[in-house]
Structure 1
Amino acid sequence: MNARLERKLRVIVIIAAAGSFAGAVFAATHGLPLLPGVVTGLLISSILGGFEILIFDGPVRAWLNDRSFTASLLIKSTFYATVILTVQWFPIVEWILGRRPMLGIDTFWSSLLYSVVVSIIVNLALAITNLVGGRALLNFFTGRYHAPVEEERFVLFVDIAGSTGLAEKFGSLGIHRFLDRTFRELSLPVVDHRGEVLAYVGDEMIVTWTKREGAKDSRPLRCFMAMRDELAQKSGYFEREFGVAPRIRGSLHFGPVIIGEIGDVKRAIVFNGDVMNTTSRLEALSRDIDGGFVASRAAIAQFKSPLPVAMRDLGRLPIRGRMDGIDAMGLEETAQRITAA
């Protein structure tokens, strides 16, 4: 299944499940029949989940992204409250179940207030998940990296080419808007290729995959090529908005990474180890390599399926911190994108 569609369906299922559970809890605590409560919660949450995916994460996604966290939360919560009021004011659930309306006026208002509060909590949870990252939030809850562990990971560094000159041209606020919009567009291929955005560092984006997930269909390499395709498709927008379209360079490496929670006032899950340092240094080398991309042979060797793009052997490149250098590969200058099977 398409990863972007899978993500949307997962959000709808989570919202629907939360709504059904909340409806059951309200019915049980107010001495009401369980079925109407569950159906009411399911109906409201399904409508809201559909709007969340089809509208809020669709046509108005860019507009909402330009709003602050609080403004976006208020806009969506206001819409949620309107939907809830409509569903509960009219006896829609009773019509569906073929029952007479059972809510008294006092129960109606308590049900309405309860539903609005639950919807705001769910909306807030979705907003926080988007802010922190779904996988990172799940890992915090499960405590997966509470004690540091070693995992084999693919690490992809993506750098915005010429960002220093662009910063001088746009100024501090302008370059931030430019990078923000660029990273928003680059995030879509990451979702499509089931990667995880680890961090944004200045003009760099760091993406990672586990060994099992990354080795499938050469996902990290396909992701980088898809990023370039995405920016090429949006070049007209960037030209109109900023007067220049972004270009990216990248580097890819594979190996053992130490992952663990760190910090106190602001807790975070961080990646450490030679792989991170080496990938960063490969990215620096990509600036002088035709094609603007360098991958370690160790990373390419993990891919069992045909590569999505033609690559050439760069030999052993000298790299700071490694006396023996590193065997690397780059993109063919005339490489054509190979369609995934």
Structure 2
Amino acid sequence: MGLVTDLFEHNALVSHGVQSELLRRIDERLLISVLAGLFGGGLYIFLLRDRLRRLPYFSALAIMAALVFPVVVATGAWLPAQGDHLGGTTTERLYSLNWLGQYLYWTLLMGATMLMVRLSDQYGNGGVGHLTGIYHKPQQELRIFMFLDMRSSTSIAEDLGHVKYFRLLNELFSDITDPIVDSRGEIYQYVGDEISVSWPLKRGINKQRCVRCFLNIRAKLQRRAAHYEQRYGIVPAFKAGFHYGEVTTGEVGLVKKERIYSGDVVNTAARIQNSCNEHGVDNLISKELLDLLLPVGPLPVREIGSISLKGKKSAVSLWTIQHPDAVKAPVS
């Protein structure tokens, strides 16, 4: 907005034979814009993102508009007035259309940033596929699936009641989101107290992201145990089942599109997770997937044995990963 104004002024001055200071003004405006952008973006990403993402979008936008106001007052009126007295005082600049344009520009820019963050939250790490239309036509691909289920969820729900139990789930899912995102996992579904997470095969195998994700979830909940004990009277824990295989991936629905995975691997991963209680462990992984993970690096594993799963004709060899402390999952 300010640059457009400067261009009009420059043309008017040049046409009347007056020397223009366009380059100096452009440099000043670029510097101010960069500083304001870094300040506003940093303020949102590092301080306000987690606080505002739980609010309705327009409520969060109103808060951001209020926070942007003093920044634009300083960068769009006060600072320019100190270096260019001919352009008017700070008060005069505040009542100009130029300043109003700058304020609306930065407010809309922050609003667009917040909208993109919310779209990212909505679609997760796999959101690019929704926007580019990769899955408009069914695709066959190899994927790893991790099915997570909260242990003793039925008794916990009965003890807490529906409303408090819902708050517990919401807080739990918020806590485990960072380990999932850090491992570049894609949240496939929330079903009650269960979460299914998926990785393209190469991404999940690389740096053992898929299993490191679970280990980091377990470690984070252990660190937060005192909080949950004080607030809900329980220490939550999850059990996980891992498997990989070929799936057909595509989008279904017209009004509310959703990506689905079709293939035996999905059912098998869910049934592997259901076998955790039977064997007294909090995770089970198929031998097929483990054989791909071990060449990447050692894992402390213990064999459970070949288990017959419901709906499977042949037995599945299952192992469990024993690890007292999680190793931080790589971000990229």
Give the structure-2-normalised TM-score.
Answer: 0.83
> Retained in 2: the 8 A contact 1:198–1:208?
yes
Deviation of the 1:253 alpha carbon: 0.5
SS in 2 for 1:194: coil
Q: Equivalent pairs: percent with the same residue?
A: 24
> Retained in 2: the 8 A contact 1:295–1:329?
yes
Measured in 2, the distance between the counterparts of 1:301 and 1:100 equals 72
Measured in 1, the distance between the counterparts of 2:257 and 2:85 equals 52
Deviation of the 1:30 alpha carbon: 6.7
> Retained in 1: the 8 A contact 2:251–2:257?
yes
Measured in 1, the distance between the counterparts of 2:98 and 2:57 equals 33
Q: Give the letter aligned to residue 62 of structure 2.
A: L
Deviation of the 1:156 alpha carbon: 0.7
> Retained in 1: the 8 A contact 2:136–2:250?
yes
Instruction: Kindly indicate whether residue 135 of structure 2 is the aligned counterpart of residue 159 of structure 1.
Output: no
Q: 1:70 to 1:167 in 2, by over 3 A?
A: farther
**Comparing 197-206 and 241-250, the one that deviates more:** 197-206
Q: 1:101 to 1:51 in 2, by over 3 A?
A: farther
Q: Which residue of 2 aligns with 1:251?
A: 241
Q: 1:257 to 1:319 in 2, by over 3 A?
A: same
Gaps of 5+ in 1: 1-22
> Retained in 1: the 8 A contact 2:248–2:261?
yes
Q: Which residue of 2 aligns with 1:39?
A: 31
Aligned length: 306
Deviation of the 1:99 alpha carbon: 6.9
Q: 1:201 to 1:338 in 2, by over 3 A?
A: closer
Instruction: Kindly indicate whether residue 40 of structure 2 is the aligned counterpart of residue 48 of structure 1.
Output: yes
Measured in 1, the distance between the counterparts of 2:86 and 2:214 equals 56
Q: List per-residue Cα deviations over 1:58-109 (Å, max 9, x = no partner).
A: xxx3x545544443343334323443333212226x87xx777868622222
SS in 2 for 1:91: helix
Measured in 1, the distance between the counterparts of 2:326 and 2:103 equals 54
Measured in 2, the distance between the counterparts of 1:102 and 1:259 equals 60
Q: 1:69 to 1:121 in 2, by over 3 A?
A: closer
**Comparing 173-182 and 299-308, the one that deviates more:** 299-308
> Retained in 1: the 8 A contact 2:303–2:319?
yes
Q: 1:264 to 1:245 in 2, by over 3 A?
A: same
Measured in 2, the distance between the counterparts of 1:117 and 1:111 equals 10
Q: List per-residue Cα deviations over 1:286-318 (Å, max 9, x = no partner).
A: 12122221111111111122244x211222211
RMSD, aligned CA: 2.6
Q: Which residue of 2 aligns with 1:187?
A: 177
Deviation of the 1:320 alpha carbon: 1.7
User: Whose RCO is larger (CA < 8 A, sep 6+)?
Assistant: 2
**Comparing 34-43 and 319-328, the one that deviates more:** 34-43
Measured in 2, the distance between the counterparts of 1:101 and 1:125 equals 40
Q: Which residue of 2 aligns with 1:88?
A: 76
Q: 1:240 to 1:229 in 2, by over 3 A?
A: same
Question: How do 1:235-250 and structure 2 match up within 5 A?
Answer: 235-250=225-240
Q: 1:66 to 1:117 in 2, by over 3 A?
A: closer
Q: Give the letter aligned to residue 48 of structure 2.
A: F
Question: How do 1:256-335 and structure 2 match up within 5 A?
Answer: 256-303=246-293, 304-308=295-299, 310-332=300-322, 335=323
**Comparing 111-120 and 221-230, the one that deviates more:** 111-120
SS in 2 for 1:282: helix
Larger Cα Rg: Structure 1 or Structure 2? 2
> Retained in 2: the 8 A contact 1:151–1:258?
yes
Match of 1:216 among 198, 203, 206: 206
> Retained in 2: the 8 A contact 1:218–1:307?
no
Deviation of the 1:193 alpha carbon: 2.0
Q: 1:301 to 1:224 in 2, by over 3 A?
A: same
Q: 1:29 to 1:285 in 2, by over 3 A?
A: farther
Gaps of 5+ in 2: 9-21
Measured in 1, the distance between the counterparts of 2:62 and 2:325 equals 43
Question: How do 1:121-160 and structure 2 match up within 5 A?
Answer: 121-136=112-127, 138-160=128-150
Q: Give the letter aligned to residue 127 of structure 1.
A: R
Measured in 2, the distance between the counterparts of 1:28 and 1:178 equals 52
> Retained in 1: the 8 A contact 2:143–2:247?
yes
Q: Give the letter aligned to residue 216 of structure 1.
A: N
Give the structure-1-normalised TM-score.
Answer: 0.81
SS in 2 for 1:252: strand
Q: 1:134 to 1:100 in 2, by over 3 A?
A: farther
Deviation of the 1:201 alpha carbon: 1.5
